[in-house]
């Protein structure tokens, strides 16, 4: 578009490319067609998802050690694991969490590490850690997926009422799960809720005591009664007979017959004599409910990292259809979360937006050119360039999602610029040639020669403009962490589509232009153009005449952005409306499963009452997936809504959430209304979430906490930091309730007991000993030996647990141990092998965060006595902000400087370059005001939009300056530059007469973004955040360029000219 | 002329644009703009003054929100120079640590304090406001605050000025309205005096009533003739012949008696020799009637019958027909099972609660559905050596013989603890060393109270301190109420 250079066509590489493409048009068309086909193939194979996966490269090591307290899990499992895994190569950090009976170790690798390579490293190091762990503990690698990969969830419903929850759970665990897990792209199918069947040997301690049998003998006997063996082969008449010893426990009766010993007179004492054996539910750390109707069994399909979510979901749905006939009568699979609809809607939104953009941009071109065939030439480049953009995307592994498609959407206006510039120039030159301008006639004999020359004239400028726009987007590539992962796809696709559009404009367009543009063209003197010029001319005159005022108003307008800017809020990521609600109330730690299940059902029932709600699926605690570390106190309720057409009149998304929020005010459970993907993404963040935090590392939790509290006090009290510290808050580890049996060694010794003898009772009598697994066909159920419920369900009963002494007597445990109730941490955090606790610090605006950290370091060093072997680290989001800020502080000025240098090299005039650069602040005016008007908050998305607008604004400014300059030079060469009036004439000519390319470019940019702003539906909100500053920026830049530039130009070129004399405008 | 028109038009346009811009700014919920009219600001009684609190925008949002606090005396005078500490906090979720958003509040006008809270995430951010009232009274107020929810509502620590309820300056009191109480299923119970009966489970065994047990022994050596009671379990009636015995010694004694009687000089008179011989027979367990029969017969019996000393059941038999029976050997045991003992073991710790007379219920696993009421008859005055348990004794009538000695019995002792102030067990929250109950103050207000708990008996717990008679305590839905209290009233630890 930066057309009309005045020298003759050069013979640079681009010029030669244009000429070559135009002459060998058939070859060009074939190459383009082949590439487009390749692009199409990439497009249909491109993995689809809603948003880019924001998770780190992480490997989860998950260990299950049922019944153990968090500190035990930490000491015995998490600590040895983290310290071993730390040494693995490419590991960024290792974080551990120890819960009741569960250990999670997250090994986070450097960005860009191959996940499978990382997993093998973890496996290697795990191997050497295994000997350090307790014998019965086996750490497992989590799936190659994250919580964000939860793409599909279902619940099992039994309409017949004949199946117990345990049956449904067995169906899920041993049938559905494997059927779905075998599908391509499915990393794991986790189960949640219902009851896991278990054989329970409920021992009556009193009977044991009266028979004089210690509990240990029961566990040993049961363990020894459950096996199948093989006895090789017996050969009978040439036939091999396999010898088997069948001894698997198959039923409750089998267990009841297990012999514990003989009583007087050789009477066998069987398990049935001292215990009742039953099938019961195993200990649950999670429960599920559907619609508040009662406990249900659910399944969670976890997608493998980097897979095509839509394909995976389709496969899952197909498989479920296949499975349906084989389900027991009355059992149904009810989907409760399905991401495919979101993905489809998001992709649809963008497809529709893209289509609308194409139409709008095409209309702009058609209206301005008033020549259908030429317009088609410009328009055809868009779909082809988009197709081609998918080629690198595909090979780079980028998924087609809101962000990557959004990159194309925001680029469309700019993509078409190159084509517009070329076609417009061809038109102008062609019409001049056809009109028989003498000079033109002399230079070119044939029409195609004119056309090629016209194209060569603008070709290099196109590349220059592309370069400016691309360079201006560099800061986006500098983003890292979650922002980087979110916005880089956008930056990539925007750059790709721009690149291919530019490439096409010097290859495909020349080929098409010589083919298509035949016959008479009307140039830029059509009716619309004339009307526009007629309207615009007085504006220019006005601007030149009242240039002081125009400039003053421009400055005022610029200053005005301070107002809205100050009131903009900020947010990390604009909300993506996922179309389904995840209600996530969280109780304090320590809630029991009965209580939480009861609350969950009430909640589901309340939510189901809303007429907009289709289905409610609630989950408390965790499913079986290692990607789900939710403690019991955390509820996640998936709310599937009916289509909006079935909602009550006047109901909106926000209003609905508002009503639900009012209805669901459960005491002690703060509400959070999020959306599934958003939640999973947030939950991945295991580190410090606030801006600044101090991590205190150490070995003893109490000492760590003491140190943390000391730091908190020091920061709040010391004169150096107090004025800047808004708050400092050390975590207090409470919320876990413990009942401790403190073993009195002396008392135990009197009975001849070791600590272990007492602990065995605690472990197996109260906790229960898992002594084996039954093998029943495909199904496997645990066998648990434990005191019967009434002997362990209250403190008084626990006090009476029997410890067998050396001489056979059984004494109550209180004789050798003291009972204490204590509180402590319900969960322990471990980072890089140390226990860690956080001090959250909030710093006010009066000091830079880096300065604050420096001062605070001194304060902590002076005033806090950090125990030997303990250390502190300064962490938090501020690290990213600092790094991003540091990068942007260099990159943004560098980018501006680069643009400046490029402009200068292009225009060779300092003043001109500076004036063109003025378009940047002008664009800011529109951006900021529009964001403010729309009520958006400052976010990275908005910042990306603002960055994107820079290149476009410069492009517009450059265009204006170019034509003004040409006109001025023309006038001066003709000797008509003696007075201000002459200057005004020149300005009017430059600004108004060459309005078409400027307006076309500007309007293409502008109108290309409008459909985004009008789009609704999933993903639209995110795109709007990016598009709004662009739209506002392009709009204001266009207006200011059209009005203010003539004024500035007249200042600049008017120096030394005689005083302004009003004179009627020419013509 | 033309120029000035242009100029004026342009100037006018500029003014309109600017004015329009500033109007837009002022009319919006933007943070520089302010404030609900004073009368709209909700006011509360706290610390002896009136506190007005409001937030702008009225529906808090993610990002900066402006918090406005006004302090004035009851008379309406502004209270100045107070330093207010305020913060909103999002509680921890799973592995995500809590987040705290502090508001640095400054006095911007007399009695008017403003600051801003930056909420970084959607969700609930309960707001805490604390300061020292001019009277030196610490005030701590709790508000419900959530993004996208209109307004802030008092949760604890103060009462609205126009509210009907009496001022409750206690920051620990939380308010939960009826609907929410129903949702979580709150139930209450009264703290009252109850007869506390503690059940103690003891393991016991059915044994013979030692007082109803007889051994059959011979005081001479002999040989068993005809054993009538010839199997263990034979029911025996008193004075029934159990067996006959031949004993040379007894035979000699009989003959001696007969000889003495024959040689008697003066029949009927008391002959010391005859008396001695008769006495010998009597001591050797021959009954008087048998001696008479012997006298009548005049011939000694080879096999002398031995009679059952009591009715009962033969429980031990060490002889058979023809066995030699040694002097002093227990030949047969007969127990009367119409009454049996239950001996049970009570652990050291429970011993102080039991005494003779304590009521008990006995059940036997082999006789499901049968319960026997009894009282402790005797507490043995010593402990069993190896298990250090005390032994108690009950006795039961056993007319049908259901209770068979050796049977294993479960004894549930009902130790009376007296008439004590008590609450149901479920009312008490155990948190480390503390025991906390929630007292329902009426009007939806609940207050956590630390109590001193005494003995635990029969589902009730004795309250030694902390509650008075008639207090209503929460017995169900405790966890959520406790959680609410900890979130809203800042009791960090109990």
pLDDT, tens digit, 9 for 90 and up, residues A46-75: 888 887 777 778 899 999 888 888 888 998
Say if CB B69 and CB B128 are below 8 A apart: no
Pair type for strands B174-175 and B445-457: antiparallel
B20 touches A: beta carbon within 8 Å: no
Window 189-248 of B, Cβ < 8 Å to A: 201, 203, 205
The confidence band for A181, taking pLDDT boundaries of 50, 70 and 90, is very high
CA–CA dist A1005, A1028 (Å, integer): 12
CA–CA dist A792, A800 (Å, integer): 9
The confidence band for B296, taking pLDDT boundaries of 50, 70 and 90, is confident
Residue A153: its pLDDT value, please? 93
Residues of A in contact with B431 (CB under 8 A): 737, 821, 823
Separation of first and last alpha carbons in chain B: 85
| A911-965 residue pLDDT tens | 888 888 888 888 888 888 888 888 787 777 888 888 888 888 888 888 888 788 8
A603 CA: distance to closest CA in chain B (Å): 8
Q: Best interface-test mutation with A: which of B8, B56, B60, B95 has the largest number of A CBs within 10 A?
A: B95
Q: Who has greater pLDDT, B75 or A1067?
A: B75
CA–CA dist B246, A706 (Å, integer): 92
Nearest to B493 among A210, A566, A734 (CB): A734
Percent of chain B with pLDDT over 90: 4
B205, A210: Cβ pair inside 8 Å? yes
A553, B32: Cβ pair inside 8 Å? no
Nearest to B430 among A206, A569, A821 (CB): A821
Say if CB A948 and CB A939 are below 8 A apart: no
B122, A673: Cβ pair inside 8 Å? yes
Say if CB A741 and CB A762 are below 8 A apart: yes
Burial grade of B435 (CB within 10 A; 0-12, 13-18, 19 or more)? buried
A737, B63: Cβ pair inside 8 Å? no
B62, A571: Cβ pair inside 8 Å? yes
Residues of A in contact with B94 (CB under 8 A): 586, 629-631, 633-634, 683
Percent of chain A with pLDDT over 70: 92
Angle at B478 between CA B473 and CA B484, to 5 degrees: 110
| B30-57 residue pLDDT tens | 344 444 445 567 888 877 788 888 888 8
Report whether pLDDT(A154) > 80: yes
Residue A468: its pLDDT value, please? 80
A588, B430: Cβ pair inside 8 Å? no
Taking only Cα atoms into account, the Rg of chain A, rounded to an integer number of angstroms, comes to 37
A734, B492: Cβ pair inside 8 Å? yes
Q: In the predicted model, what is the mean pLDDT of residues B429-436?
A: 83
Residues of A in contact with B176 (CB under 8 A): 667
B36 CA: distance to closest CA in chain A (Å): 18
The confidence band for A180, taking pLDDT boundaries of 50, 70 and 90, is very high
CA–CA dist B437, B444 (Å, integer): 16
Q: Who has greater pLDDT, A24 or B18?
A: A24
Nearest to B91 among A586, A821, A844 (CB): A586
Q: Who has greater pLDDT, A753 or A444?
A: A753
Say if CB A304 and CB A144 are below 8 A apart: yes
DSSP structure string for A131-166: GGS-TT---EEPPS--GGGEEEEEEEEESSS-S-HH
Pair type for strands A197-203 and A779-787: parallel
The confidence band for A317, taking pLDDT boundaries of 50, 70 and 90, is very high
B21, A560: Cβ pair inside 8 Å? yes
- What is the layout of strands, in order, in the sheet containing B213-217? B213-217, B330-335, B312-317, B235-236
Nearest to A844 among B90, B92, B104 (CB): B104
Q: In the predicted model, what is the mean pLDDT of residues A474-490?
A: 80
Residues of A in contact with B485 (CB under 8 A): 668
Q: Best interface-test mutation with A: which of B28, B31, B93, B128 has the largest number of A CBs within 10 A?
A: B93
Say if CB A864 and CB A714 are below 8 A apart: yes
Residue A440: its pLDDT value, please? 61
Nearest to A737 among B149, B430, B486 (CB): B430
Complex ipTM, two decimals?
0.71
Nearest to B480 among A572, A599, A807 (CB): A599
Report whether pLDDT(B16) > 60: no
Q: Which of B44, B142, B123, B169 is nearest to B488 (CA)?
A: B142
Window 391-450 of B, Cβ < 8 Å to A: 408, 410, 430-433
Q: In the predicted model, what is the mean pLDDT of residues A621-628?
A: 87
Nearest to B484 among A586, A667, A796 (CB): A667
B153 touches A: beta carbon within 8 Å: no
| A842-854 residue pLDDT tens | 776 667 677 788 8
Q: Which long-range contacts (CB under 8 A, 24 or more apart) does A792-796 make?
A: A792/A765, A792/A766, A795/A739, A795/A819, A795/B456, A796/B456
CA–CA dist A109, A113 (Å, integer): 6
Q: What is the 3-state secondary structure (H, E, C) of A708-766?
A: HHHHHHHHHHCCCCHHHEEEEEECCCCCEEEEEEEECHHHHHHCCCCHHHHHHHHHHHH
Report whether pLDDT(A219) > 70: yes
Model confidence, pTM: 0.77
The confidence band for A31, taking pLDDT boundaries of 50, 70 and 90, is very high
A842, B100: Cβ pair inside 8 Å? yes
Residues of B in contact with A564 (CB under 8 A): 25
Residue of B nearest to A727 (CA): B102
Q: In the predicted model, what is the mean pLDDT of residues B273-287?
A: 83
| Mean pLDDT, chain A, whole residue set | 83
Three-state secondary-structure class, residue B201: strand
Nearest to B123 among A595, A671, A683 (CB): A671
Phi and psi dihedrals of A568, rounded to 5? Answer: -75, 130
DSSP category for residue A690: S
- A32-36, A356-360, A419-423: range with lowest mean pLDDT: A419-423
- A292-296, A522-526, A668-672, A816-820: range with lowest mean pLDDT: A522-526
B201, A800: Cβ pair inside 8 Å? yes
- A173-187, B124-138, B149-163, B186-200: range with lowest mean pLDDT: B149-163
Three-state secondary-structure class, residue B316: strand
Residues of A in contact with B149 (CB under 8 A): 658, 661-662
Q: In the predicted model, what is the mean pLDDT of residues A106-112?
A: 86
Percent of chain B with pLDDT over 70: 85
Residue A320: its pLDDT value, please? 93
Residue B34: its pLDDT value, please? 44
Neighbour tally for A925: CB within 10 Å: 23
| B378-400 residue pLDDT tens | 999 888 776 678 899 998 898 88
Residue A843: its pLDDT value, please? 73
**Residue located via tokens 């979430």:** A689
Nearest to B96 among A569, A654, A683 (CB): A683
A729, B431: Cβ pair inside 8 Å? no
Nearest to B456 among A658, A796, A1062 (CB): A796
Q: Which residues pair with B67 in a beta bridge?
A: B55, B115
The confidence band for B143, taking pLDDT boundaries of 50, 70 and 90, is confident
* Burial track B98-136 (b if 16+ CB lie within 10 A, e otherwise): ebbbbbbbebeeebbbbbbbbbbbbbbbbbbbbbebeee
Report whether pLDDT(A446) > 80: no
DSSP structure string for A812-854: EGGGTEEEEEEEE-SSEEEETTEEEEEEEEEE-TTS-HHHHHH
Residue B1: its pLDDT value, please? 41
B62, A937: Cβ pair inside 8 Å? yes
B14 touches A: beta carbon within 8 Å: yes
Report whether pLDDT(B265) > 80: no
B368 touches A: beta carbon within 8 Å: no
Residues of A in contact with B155 (CB under 8 A): none
Residues of A in contact with B481 (CB under 8 A): 667-668
- A644-658, A810-824, B90-104, B293-307: range with lowest mean pLDDT: B90-104
A207, B122: Cβ pair inside 8 Å? no
| A677-724 residue pLDDT tens | 877 776 665 555 556 778 888 888 888 888 888 888 888 888 888 777
Say if CB A1012 and CB A1024 are below 8 A apart: yes
Percent of chain A with pLDDT over 90: 13
Nearest to B91 among A670, A685, A827 (CB): A670
| A980-1037 residue pLDDT tens | 778 888 888 888 877 888 888 888 888 888 888 888 777 777 788 888 999 999 999 8
Report how many Cβ contacts below 8 Å link chain A to chain B. Answer: 210
Q: In the predicted model, what is the mean pLDDT of residues B122-146?
A: 81
Residue of B nearest to A604 (CA): B183
Say if CB A316 and CB A301 are below 8 A apart: yes
- A244-258, A737-751, B153-167, B457-471: range with lowest mean pLDDT: B153-167
Omega before residue B57 within 30° of 0, cis: yes
B90 CA: distance to closest CA in chain A (Å): 8
């Amino acid at each position: 578009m930066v057309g009309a250079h005045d020298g003759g066509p050069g013979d640079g590489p681009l010029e030669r490319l244009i000429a070559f493409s135009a002459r060998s048009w058939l070859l060009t068309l074939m190459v383009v067609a082949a590439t487009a086909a390749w692009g199409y193939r990439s497009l249909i194979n491109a993995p689809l998802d809603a948003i880019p996966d924001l998770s780190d490269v992480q490997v989860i090591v998950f260990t299950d050690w049922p019944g153990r307290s968090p500190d035990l899990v930490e000491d015995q499992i998490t600590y040895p694991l983290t310290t071993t895994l730390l040494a693995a190569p490419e590991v960024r950090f290792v974080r551990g969490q120890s819960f009741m009976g569960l250990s999670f170790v997250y090994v986070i690798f450097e960005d860009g590490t191959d996940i499978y390579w990382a997993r093998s490293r973890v496996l290697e190091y795990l191997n050497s850690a295994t000997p350090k762990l307790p014998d019965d503990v086996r750490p497992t690698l989590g799936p190659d997926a994250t919580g964000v990969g939860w793409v599909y969830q279902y619940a099992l419903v039994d309409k017949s009422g004949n199946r117990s929850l345990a049956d449904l759970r067995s169906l899920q665990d041993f049938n559905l799960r494997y059927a779905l897990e075998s599908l391509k792209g499915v990393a794991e199918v986790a189960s949640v809720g219902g009851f896991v069947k278990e054989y329970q040997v409920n021992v009556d301690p009193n009977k044991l005591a009266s028979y004089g049998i210690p509990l240990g003998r029961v566990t040993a006997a049961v363990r020894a009664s459950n096996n199948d063996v093989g006895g090789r082969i017996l050969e009978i008449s040439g036939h091999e007979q396999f010898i088997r010893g069948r001894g698997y426990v198959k039923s409750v009766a089998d267990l009841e017959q297990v012999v514990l010993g003989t009583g007087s007179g050789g009477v066998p004492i069987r398990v049935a004599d001292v215990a009742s054996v039953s099938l019961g539910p195993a200990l649950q750390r999670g429960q599920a409910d559907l619609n508040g109707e009662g406990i249900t069994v659910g399944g969670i399909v976890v997608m493998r990292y980097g897979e095509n979510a839509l394909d995976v979901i389709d496969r899952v749905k197909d498989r479920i259809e296949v499975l349906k006939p084989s389900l027991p009568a009355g059992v149904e699979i009810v989907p409760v979360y399905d991401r495919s609809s979101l993905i489809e809607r998001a992709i649809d939104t963008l497809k529709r937006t893209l289509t609308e953009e194409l139409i709008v941009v095409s209309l702009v071109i058609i209206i301005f050119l008033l020549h259908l065939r030429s317009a088609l030439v410009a328009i055809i480049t868009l779909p082809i360039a988009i197709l081609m953009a998918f080629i690198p995307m595909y090979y780079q592994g980028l998924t087609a999602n809101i962000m990557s498609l959004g990159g194309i959407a925001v680029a469309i206006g700019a993509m078409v610029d190159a084509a517009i510039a070329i076609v417009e120039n061809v038109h102008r030159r062609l019409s001049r040639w056809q009109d028989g301008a003498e000079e033109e006639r002399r230079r070119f004999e044939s029409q195609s020669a004119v056309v090629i020359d016209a194209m060569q004239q603008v070709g290099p400028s196109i590349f220059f403009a592309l370069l400016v726009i691309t360079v201006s987007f560099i800061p986006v590539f500098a983003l890292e962490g979650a922002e980087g992962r979110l916005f880089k796809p956008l930056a990539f696709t925007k750059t790709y589509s721009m690149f291919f559009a530019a490439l096409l404009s010097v290859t495909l367009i020349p080929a098409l232009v010589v083919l298509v543009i035949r016959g008479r063209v009307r140039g830029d003197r059509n009716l619309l153009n004339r009307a526009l010029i007629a309207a615009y001319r007085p504006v220019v005159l006005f601007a030149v005449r009242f240039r002081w005022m125009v400039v003053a108003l421009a400055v005022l307008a610029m200053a005005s952005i301070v107002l809205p800017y100050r009131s903009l809020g900020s947010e990390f990521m604009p909300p993506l409306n996922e179309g389904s609600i995840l209600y996530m109330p969280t109780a304090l730690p320590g809630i029991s499963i009965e209580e939480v299940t009861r609350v969950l059902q009430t909640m589901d029932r309340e939510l189901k009452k809303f007429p907009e709600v289709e289905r409610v699926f609630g989950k408390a605690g965790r499913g079986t997936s290692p990607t789900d570390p939710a403690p019991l106190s955390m509820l996640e309720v998936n709310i599937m809504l009916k289509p909006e057409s079935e909602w009550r009149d006047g109901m909106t998304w926000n209003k609905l959430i508002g009503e639900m929020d009012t209805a669901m005010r459960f005491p002690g459970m703060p509400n959070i209304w999020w959306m599934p993907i958003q939640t999973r993404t947030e939950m991945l963040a295991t580190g410090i979430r606030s801006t600044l935090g101090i991590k205190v590392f150490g070995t003893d939790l109490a000492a760590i906490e003491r140190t943390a509290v000391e730091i908190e006090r020091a920061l709040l009290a010391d004169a150096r930091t107090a004025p800047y510290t808004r708050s400092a808050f050390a975590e207090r580890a409470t919320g876990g309730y413990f009942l401790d049996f403190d073993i009195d060694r002396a008392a135990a010794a009197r009975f001849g007991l070791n600590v272990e003898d007492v602990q065995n009772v605690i472990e197996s009598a109260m906790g229960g000993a898992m002594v084996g697994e039954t093998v029943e066909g495909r199904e496997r159920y645990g066998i648990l030996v434990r005191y019967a419920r009434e002997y362990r369900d209250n403190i008084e009963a626990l006090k009476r647990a029997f410890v067998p002494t050396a001489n056979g007597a059984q004494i109550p445990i209180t004789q050798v141990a003291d009972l204490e109730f204590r509180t402590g941490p319900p969960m322990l955090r471990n980072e890089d092998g140390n226990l860690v606790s956080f001090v959250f610090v909030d710093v006010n605006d009066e000091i830079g965060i880096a300065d604050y950290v420096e001062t605070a370091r001194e304060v902590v060093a002076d005033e806090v006595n950090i125990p030997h072997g303990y250390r502190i680290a300064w962490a938090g989001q501020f690290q990213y902000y600092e790094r991003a800020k540091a990068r942007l502080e260099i990159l943004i000025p560098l980018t501006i400087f680069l643009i400046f240098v490029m402009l200068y090299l292009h225009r060779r005039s300092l003043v001109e370059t500076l004036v063109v650069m003025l378009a940047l602040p002008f664009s800011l005016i529109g951006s900021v005001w529009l964001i403010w008007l729309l009520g958006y908050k400052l976010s990275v998305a908005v910042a990306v939009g603002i960055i994107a607008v820079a290149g476009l604004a410069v492009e517009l400014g450059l265009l204006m300056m170019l034509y003004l300059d040409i006109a001025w030079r023309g006038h001066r060469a003709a000797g008509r530059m003696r007075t201000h009036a002459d200057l005004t004439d020149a300005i009017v000519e430059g600004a108004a007469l060459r309005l078409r390319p400027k307006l076309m470019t500007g309007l293409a940019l502008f109108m290309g973004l409008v459909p985004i702003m009008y789009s609704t539906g999933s993903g639209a909100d995110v795109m709007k955040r990016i598009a709004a500053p662009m739209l506002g920026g392009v709009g204001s830049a266009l207006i200011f360029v059209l009005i203010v530039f003539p004024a500035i130009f007249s200042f600049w070129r008017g120096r030394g000219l005689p005083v302004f004399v009003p004179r009627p405008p020419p013509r | 002329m033309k120029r000035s028109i242009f100029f004026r038009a342009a100037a006018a346009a500029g003014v309109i644009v600017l004015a329009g811009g500033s109007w837009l700014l002022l009319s919006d919920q933007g943070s520089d703009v302010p404030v609900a009219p004073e009368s709209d600001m909700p006011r509360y009684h706290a610390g002896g003054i009136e506190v007005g609190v409001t937030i702008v925008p009225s529906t808090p949002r993610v990002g900066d929100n402006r918090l406005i606090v006004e302090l004035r005396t009851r008379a309406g005078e502004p209270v100045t120079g107070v330093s207010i500490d305020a913060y909103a906090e999002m509680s921890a979720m799973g592995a995500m640590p809590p987040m705290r958003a502090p508001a640095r509040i400054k006095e911007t006008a007399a009695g008017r304090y403003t600051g801003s809270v930056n909420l970084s995430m959607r969700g609930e951010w309960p707001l805490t406001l604390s300061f020292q009232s001019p009277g030196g009274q610490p005030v701590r107020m709790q508000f419900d605050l959530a993004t996208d929810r209109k307004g802030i509502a008092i949760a604890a620590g103060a009462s609205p000025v126009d509210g009907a309820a009496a001022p409750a300056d206690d920051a620990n009191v939380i308010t939960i309205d009826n609907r929410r109480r129903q949702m979580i299923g709150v139930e209450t119970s009264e703290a009252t005096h109850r007869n506390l009966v503690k059940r103690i489970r003891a393991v016991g065994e059915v044994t013979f009533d030692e007082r109803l047990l007889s051994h059959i022994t011979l005081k001479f050596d002999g040989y068993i003739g005809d054993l009538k009671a010839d199997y263990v379990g034979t029911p025996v009636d008193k004075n029934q012949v159990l067996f006959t015995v031949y004993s040379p010694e007894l035979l000699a004694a009989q003959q001696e008696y007969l000889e003495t009687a024959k040689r008697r000089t003066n029949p009927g008179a008391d002959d010391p020799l005859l008396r001695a011989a008769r006495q010998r027979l009597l001591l050797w367990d021959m009954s008087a009637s048998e001696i008479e029969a012997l006298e009548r017969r005049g011939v000694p019996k080879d096999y002398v019958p031995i009679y059952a000393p009591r009715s009962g059941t033969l429980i031990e038999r060490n002889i058979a027909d023809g066995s030699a029976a040694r002097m002093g050997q227990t030949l047969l045991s007969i127990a009367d099972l119409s009454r049996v003992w239950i001996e049970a073991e009570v652990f050291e710790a429970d011993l102080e609660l039991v005494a003779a007379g304590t009521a008990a219920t006995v059940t036997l696993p082999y006789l499901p559905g049968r319960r026997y009421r009894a009282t402790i008859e005797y507490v043995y005055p010593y402990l069993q050596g190896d298990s250090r348990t005390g032994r108690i004794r009950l006795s039961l009538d056993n007319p049908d013989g259901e209770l068979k000695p050796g049977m294993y019995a479960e004894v549930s002792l009902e130790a009376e603890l007296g008439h004590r102030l008590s609450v149901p067990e479920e009312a008490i929250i155990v948190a480390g060393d503390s025991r906390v109950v929630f007292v329902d103050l009426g009007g939806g207000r609940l207050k956590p109270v630390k109590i001193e708990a005494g003995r635990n008996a029969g589902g009730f717990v004795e309250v030694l301190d902390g509650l008075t008679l008639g207090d209503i305590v929460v017995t169900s839905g405790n966890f959520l109420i406790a959680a609410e209290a900890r979130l809203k009233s800042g009791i960090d630890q109990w």
